[in-house]
Amino acid sequence: MSFVTARPLFLTLTAALSLTTALPALAQDRFVLDEITLTANREATELSRSGSSVSVLTAGDLDNRAGQPLTRSLTRLPGVTLRQSGPLGTTGFLQVRGAPAQYLPVVIDGIEVSDPTGPKPAYDFGGLTGTSVGRAELLRGAQSALYGSRAVAGVLTLQSLRPTQDGLHHHFGIEAGSYDTLTATYGATLRRDGTDVAFQVSHLRSDGFSALDEDDGNFEDDGYEATRLSFYSAHRLENGVTVGFNGFWEDSTGDFDDFSDVAGTPGNDYSENESYGLRGFAEFTTGAVDHDIALTRYRIDRTSVYDGFATPFDGTRTKLSWQGATDIGAGVRAVFGADTEKEEAEGSADARISGVFVETTTALGDRIDVTTSLRRDDHSRFGGFTSGRVAAVYRADGDLLFRAAIGNGFRAPSLYELFSIYGDPTLEREESRTHEIGVEKRWGDSHLRATAFWLKADNMIGWDDRGTVDWMDDGYAQVPGTARRRGVEIDGRHAFGAGHALTASYTFIDNQTDVDWAQVPERVLNLGAETTFATGTTAGIDLQHVAGRANDLDDFTTVDLLVSHPLRDNATAYLRLENVFDEDYQWVSGYGTSGRAVYAGLRASF
Which whole-number Å values give the CA distances from 54 to 49, 64, 139, 166, in the listed order? Answer: 12, 24, 5, 30
Taking all residues of the chain, what is their mean pLDDT, rounded to a whole number?
A: 89
Q: Are 5 and 512 in contact (CB under 8 A)?
A: yes
β-partners of residue 207 are none
Residue 28 pLDDT greater than 70, yes or no: no
Residue 26 pLDDT greater than 70, yes or no: no
pLDDT band at 466 (very low <50, low <70, confident <90, very high): low
Residue 1 pLDDT greater than 60, yes or no: no
61: phi then psi, degrees, rounded to nearest 5: -65, -30
Q: What CA–CA distance (Å, rounded) separates 357 from 128?
A: 32
**What's the rounded mean pLDDT across residues 25-33?**
38
Pick the range with the lowest mean pLDDT from 61-75, 168-182, 376-390: 61-75
**What's the rounded mean pLDDT across residues 211-237?**
91
65: phi then psi, degrees, rounded to nearest 5: -120, 20
Which whole-number Å values give the CA distances from 64 to 8, 538, 576, in the listed order? Answer: 38, 11, 8
Q: What CA–CA distance (Å, rounded) separates 34 from 444?
A: 13
The closest of 29, 279, 281, 41 to 155, measured between CA atoms, is 41
Residue 49: DSSP 8-state = G
Give the CA angle between residues 418, 423, 428 to the nearest 5°. 50
Residue 49, Ramachandran bin (φ over 0: left; ψ between -120 and 50: alpha; else beta): alpha
The closest of 98, 152, 86 to 125, measured between CA atoms, is 86
Residues 6+ apart with CB under 8 A from 6: none
pLDDT band at 130 (very low <50, low <70, confident <90, very high): confident
Q: What is the pLDDT of residues 146-157, one digit of tens each?
A: 999 999 999 999
The closest of 309, 348, 275 to 106, measured between CA atoms, is 275
Q: What CA–CA distance (Å, rounded) separates 311 from 304?
A: 5
Percent helix, strand and coil across the chain, each to the nearest 5: 10, 55, 35
Predicted local distance difference test score (pLDDT) of residue 490: 97
Q: What CA–CA distance (Å, rounded) separates 414 from 424?
A: 10
Output 383 or 190, whichever has higher pLDDT: 190
From first CA to last CA, the distance across the chain in angstroms is: 59
Predicted local distance difference test score (pLDDT) of residue 68: 86
Predicted local distance difference test score (pLDDT) of residue 23: 40
How many Cα neighbours within 13 Å face the side chain of 55? 30
Which whole-number Å values give the CA distances from 444 to 19, 494, 533, in the listed order? Answer: 17, 9, 21
Q: What is the pLDDT of residues 292-338, one digit of tens each?
A: 999 999 999 999 998 888 989 999 999 999 999 999 988 899 999 99
Q: What is the pLDDT of residues 342-390, one digit of tens each?
A: 999 987 789 999 999 999 999 999 999 999 999 999 999 888 999 999 9
How many Cα neighbours within 13 Å face the side chain of 2? 4
Residues 6+ apart with CB under 8 A from 511: 98, 485, 519, 520, 522, 550
Q: What CA–CA distance (Å, rounded) separates 578 from 178?
A: 10
Chain CA centroid to CA 484, Å: 21
Q: What DSSP string describes 580-604? A: TT-----SSTTB----SEEEEEEEE
Handedness of CA 66, 117, 268, 590 (dihedral sign): positive
> Beta strands 135-140 and 92-96: pairing type?
unpaired
Residue 29 pLDDT greater than 70, yes or no: no
Residues 6+ apart with CB under 8 A from 510: 5, 8, 9, 485, 486, 487, 522
Residues 6+ apart with CB under 8 A from 315: 115, 116, 117, 299, 300, 343, 344, 345, 346, 415
Residue 34 pLDDT greater than 70, yes or no: no
- One-letter identity of residue 240: G
Handedness of CA 16, 20, 25, 29 (dihedral sign): positive
Q: What DSSP string describes 76-124? A: TSTTEEEEE-SSTTS-EEEEETT--GGGS-EEETTEE-S-TTSSS----
- One-letter identity of residue 436: E
User: What length is written for the chain?
Assistant: 606
Residues 6+ apart with CB under 8 A from 21: 441
Residue 77 pLDDT greater than 90, yes or no: yes
Q: What is the pLDDT of residues 571-594, one digit of tens each?
A: 999 999 999 999 999 999 889 999
8: phi then psi, degrees, rounded to nearest 5: -60, -40
| Domains (range + CATH), the chain | 37-605 (2.40.170.20)
Predicted local distance difference test score (pLDDT) of residue 515: 64
Sheet holding 54-57, edge to edge: 54-57, 135-140, 154-159, 106-108, 111-112
Predicted local distance difference test score (pLDDT) of residue 260: 64
Q: Is 293 exposed, middle or buried (0-12, 13-18, 19+ CB in 10 A)?
A: middle
Give the Cβ contact number of residue 367 at 10 Å: 12
Predicted local distance difference test score (pLDDT) of residue 272: 94
